[in-house]
Amino acid sequence: MTYCFVIAHITGTYHIQGEHLEVAPHEKKLTSPNITITGWVSRAEALAKIMSSDIFLFPSAWESLSIARMEVMYVGKPCVVGTADGNRDVINTGKNGFVCSTKKEYVDAIQELLDKPELANKYVRRAHQDILDTYNVRVMEKKYRRLFTKLGV
């Protein structure tokens, strides 16, 4: 088992039962010195944090289309994501990242990426290629044009 120092940067805001909160009720419990909760940050700051990270952890269970996840796949960070529909549509465990639903799955996925850099690199290359081949604006535009033409729209 590899032991490392992990720094977690948590950005964004929180939504609980439809209520928008700048500070999560559990934030005071996250007091470890290696955890930073920033709230919303500028795009430049978010990109800087992404580029200095080793793994993109996105445990969201409800955000279906994450532009951040797509950007991270493009710039080459391995993804460990939650079970939101959009995550399951784009990330395939064993191919280009990990989709996790339990704490143990998250821990195991992160540990595997840290222990096996060649596996992390394989997933990063596949995820980047998936963005180029499938999830970019030009490809999506062509697919929609074909679909709308087929539907007679």
User: Are residues 71 and 10 both part of a single domain?
Assistant: no
Tens of pLDDT along 123-152? 999 999 999 999 888 998 999 999 999 999
User: Are residues 65 and 46 both part of a single domain?
Assistant: no
* Domain C-terminal end among 34, 53, 72: 53
Q: What is the CATH number of the domain that holds 79?
A: 3.40.50.2000
User: Are residues 58 and 24 both part of a single domain?
Assistant: no
User: Are 66 and 86 in contact, with CB atoms under 8 Å apart?
Assistant: yes
User: Are residues 119 and 152 both part of a single domain?
Assistant: yes
User: Are residues 47 and 63 both part of a single domain?
Assistant: no
User: Are residues 108 and 35 both part of a single domain?
Assistant: no
SS3 59: coil
Q: What residue numbers bound the domain in which 6 lies?
A: 1-53
Q: What total of structural domains would you count in the chain?
A: 2
Task: Please tell me the pTM assigned to this model.
Answer: 0.78
User: Are residues 61 and 131 both part of a single domain?
Assistant: yes
User: Are residues 87 and 105 both part of a single domain?
Assistant: yes
Tens of pLDDT along 32-89? 777 777 777 888 888 888 898 899 999 887 776 788 899 999 999 999 999 998 899 9
User: Are residues 29 and 61 both part of a single domain?
Assistant: no
User: Are 83 and 101 in contact, with CB atoms under 8 Å apart?
Assistant: yes
User: Are residues 125 and 99 both part of a single domain?
Assistant: yes
Residue 2 clears pLDDT 50, i.e. is over it: no
Q: What is the DSSP string of the chain?
A: -------EEEES-EEETTEEESS-TTGGG---TTEEEEES--HHHHHHHHHT-S-EEE--SS--S-HHHHHHHHHT--EEE---HHHHHH--BTTTBEE--SHHHHHHHHHHHHH-HHHHHHHHHHHHHHHHHTSSHHHHHHHHHHHHHHHT-
Average pLDDT value for residue range 110-118: 96
Higher pLDDT, 115 or 26: 115
Q: What CA–CA distances, in Å, run from 145 to 4, 24, 65, 137?
A: 48, 42, 21, 12
Q: What CA–CA distances, in Å, run from 111 to 21, 80, 97, 115?
A: 32, 11, 13, 6
